[in-house]
Structure 1
Amino acid sequence: MLFDLPDHDTLYRALLDRDEGYDGRAYVCVGTTGIFCRLTCPARKPKSENCTFVATIGECIETGFRPCKRCHPMQAAAAADPVVGELLMLLDEKPEVRWSERDIARLGYDISTVRRSFKRQFGMTFLEMARQRRLRDGFEVLADGGKVIEAQLEAGFDSPSAFRAAFARLLGCRPKDLGTEGTLLASWIPTPLGDMVAVSSTSHLHLLEFVDRKALPNELKKLAMHGRNAIGLGKTAATEQAAAELDAFFAGTSSQFETPLAPPGTAFSKIVWDALRDIPAGQTRSYRDIAIAIGDPAATRAVARANGANQIALMIPCHRVIGADGSLTGYGGGLWRKQRLLEIETRYRLEQKEHLQ
């Protein structure tokens, strides 16, 4: 089974109890601090709604969370493999270094061995881990309105070209392509499930995706072409509203999203997306259910394609669509996120049921 972790409430209780039985099997990502911990961490416990539980350290790092300096969640992997431990120590001591394979070889390590060791322990290479840490620092500067050179320095990149290249690999464009002007403005929204990119006009939200979504660079390019204008960097009223509603959603106070949306897509896709928004929080539908709901029972495959083309995560809830057999099926933001979102929304459904009683 891909997901063998208990439900959120069980894991949160284990966190409160510092249950050693989950050590190395589950980790908690704390949305309010950007830190991930072991469940045995002695630090003050966060609120349940700010916690996301995942099975691997790699998932924590990929979504932008940093290891806790009190419980050292990466220490077990370091102890199990001396090569991993030594490089992790160097990464902590010199977070600003732009690591390369040449640096690794210069230190006397075999490049292939290092690559295999980190892949086995974390699901990513040492170089990918180092780059992920530094890029988040740069993104935070840009999100706060800082200049590209400030973001480059904060991220620890020695040269502008290196920062531009790393930025482009993730978002499909250079930092300067995201200026301060444009009919569409992009900004970063932190959530307990990882950072998201929001792109809005002054009145509508056009894109909302998790930063690590592989399709994000192409989606941004298509969005810029659709709008016939470069995407700038900044916040609009629509972005501010979206951020506030996401905060309320993850805090457990509201499952309603009222931000005006304007996703680019075909007429058929927009019909499907409207049907997705009609699915109540805490409930799911199959692709066939959606096809029947829009009056075209034979359009199951077309519905699946439209579902996959959605680029406004959460607010157009494609995560509420599952396989006819009850399986989670695909999700661009990662199946672990889909499962977590459904768990969050189940609590909304139960609360509503209790209210009606």
Structure 2
Amino acid sequence: MIDNHERKAEYYQALVEKRSDYEGVFYVGVTSTGVFCRPTCPARKPKYTNCEFYETAQQALLASFRPCQRCRPLSHPNQVSDIVRLLVEAVEQNPEKRWKGQDFRALSIDESTARRQFKKRFGMTFVEYARARRMGLALKSIRTGEKMINTQLASGYESSSGFRDAFSRIMGAPPTRLDDTRILKAAWLDTQLGPMVAIADESELYLLEFVDRRGLEREVERLRNKMKAAIIPGQTAPIQSIERELTQYFEGTLTEWRTPLHLLGSPFQQKVWNQLMQIPAGEARSYADIALSLGQPTAYRAVAQANGANQLAIIIPCHRVINSSGELGGYGGGIARKAWLLNHEKRGIVEK
């Protein structure tokens, strides 16, 4: 979400004037209706206070907004193919669905063609689009807090929203059927690098990830299955603690992470994660360096796998691990974020 006040004012004026030269520059999410639109949408213009602006459609989807039926931001007939339009409509008919090869064949659509056309038009594949829509529904309750749950319970769940199915498939159980199940709580945290989701119980933090991280849905599923828990929106002491510390980290005033952590991993993975936390801020190590420090110099591939399995972004600094060639290598939160974090720390802003 774009937080710069001057830019938001500029985009709102462009929205009011239906400026076509801003097409592709931003999307606007309207909190009063739950839809997101193109700048030239013919619908009645919302109040400024009801507008949230996003640079990409994926950001709007993950923030729980659905495509506007009037301006069709992802399927305007003058901008995209019939294949894209058909698939977008199919997702809206069943937004919590996980797409497989047979689903494309049922629509007589080539899966690779769909992937290519979505990537070219929106910068994400169709599967990424469908996932963002599905995750957006589940994250909506987390983003808006516990009041959202009460609203959904009172309304009996609107079948068209897909809320209950998306929530239960990703978070473990509908809020009405928790009973004596172990409960973890999740909160949406806005940060300088985009929104993150934090999941914790009353004493420890289990997960901290960017909401657009590829594979987040599987991470959450593994967590709830391993803990035999359901996840509901809410606040706990560890969530409040990590929110404060993240603010300090981005401001450059953090000296030490103090939020208690619960590390779910094999003994080898935990050794790797502990070694990552020994890397000083502003420095980087290679996978081979980490393997050597563990006394297992040939285990650099296993180190890379353990690095990728880290569920506590930034705190366990997997962004400080690079390739032996000096290239950045991969990062679950995206290479641009990895570069930003390393530069942020190299400037000497973060002490530890």
State the TM-score bracket (shorter-chain normalisation). 0.5 to 0.7
Q: 1:351: how far off?
A: 3.9
Question: For residues 253 and 219 of structure 1, what CA distance do their matches in structure 2 show?
Answer: 30
- Change in 2 beyond 3 A, CA 1:327/1:111: same
Equivalent residue for 2:264? 264
2:320 paired with 1:320 = yes
Counting aligned pairs with the same residue, the percent is 31
What residue in structure 1 maps to residue 289 of structure 2?
Answer: 289
2:143 aligns with 140
Q: Which residue identity is paired with 2:149?
A: K
Query: By how many angstroms is 1:238 displaced?
Result: 0.6
Residue 292 of structure 1: SS of its match in structure 2? helix
Query: What does the per-residue CA deviation read over 1:310-333, in whole Å, with 9 as the maximum and x for residues that have no partner?
Result: 111111111221211223333333
5 Å-filtered alignment, 1:129-168, equals 134-141=137-144, 143-147=145-149, 150=152, 157-158=159-160, 162-168=162-168
Counterparts in 2 of 1:149-298, with a 5 A limit?
A: 150=152, 157-158=159-160, 162-168=162-168, 171=170, 173-176=172-175, 179=178, 184-192=183-191, 193-254=193-254, 256-298=256-298
Distance of 1:304 and 1:185 partners within structure 2: 28
**Partner Cα separation in structure 1 for residue 37 and residue 280 of structure 2:** 33
Q: Secondary structure at the match of 2:160?
A: coil
The structure-2 alpha-carbon separation of the partners of 1:129 and 1:150, relative to structure 1 and needing over 3 Å to count, comes to same
Change beyond 3 A, Cα 1:324–1:253: same
The runs of 5 or more residues in structure 1 that have no matched partner are 1-13, 30-35, 39-50, 92-96, 102-109
TM-score, scaled relative to structure 1: 0.61
Matched residues, number: 297
- TM-score for the superposition, normalised by structure 2: 0.62
Whole-Å Cα distance in 1 between the matches of residues 217 and 84 of structure 2? Answer: 33
Structure 2 gap segments, 5+ residues each: 1-6, 12-20, 29-35, 39-52, 96-106
Change (3 A) 1:351 1:148: same
SS in 2 for 1:147: helix
Q: 1:278 to 1:118 in 2, by over 3 A?
A: same
Q: Contact (CA 8 Å) 2:224, 2:230: kept in 1 or not?
A: yes
Question: How has the CA–CA distance of structure 1 residues 164 and 177 changed in structure 2, closer, same or farther, with 3 Å as cutoff?
Answer: same
Measured in 2, the distance between the counterparts of 1:209 and 1:132 equals 13
When residues 112 and 128 of structure 1 are mapped into structure 2, their CA distance, relative to the original with a 3 A threshold, is farther
Could you tell me whether the CA contact under 8 Å between 1:287 and 1:323 is conserved in 2? yes
- Matched to 1:279, the amino acid is I
- Aligned residue number for residue 340 of structure 1: 337
Distance 1:325 1:23 in 2: 40
Distance 1:343 1:64, change over 3 A: same
Q: Give a deviation string over 1:52-92, Cα, whole Å, max 9, x none.
A: 98xxx35534643869x9xx9x69987644979999xx99x
Alpha-carbon distance, 1:23 to partner: 7.8
**Separation in structure 2 between the aligned mates of residue 218 and residue 86 of structure 1, nearest angstrom:** 28
Which letter does structure 2 place at the counterpart of 1:318?
C
**Cα deviation 1:239-294 (Å, max 9, x = unaligned):** 11112212333344437422111111122211110111122233221101111222
One-letter code aligned to 1:320: R
Report the AA paired with residue 188 of structure 1: A
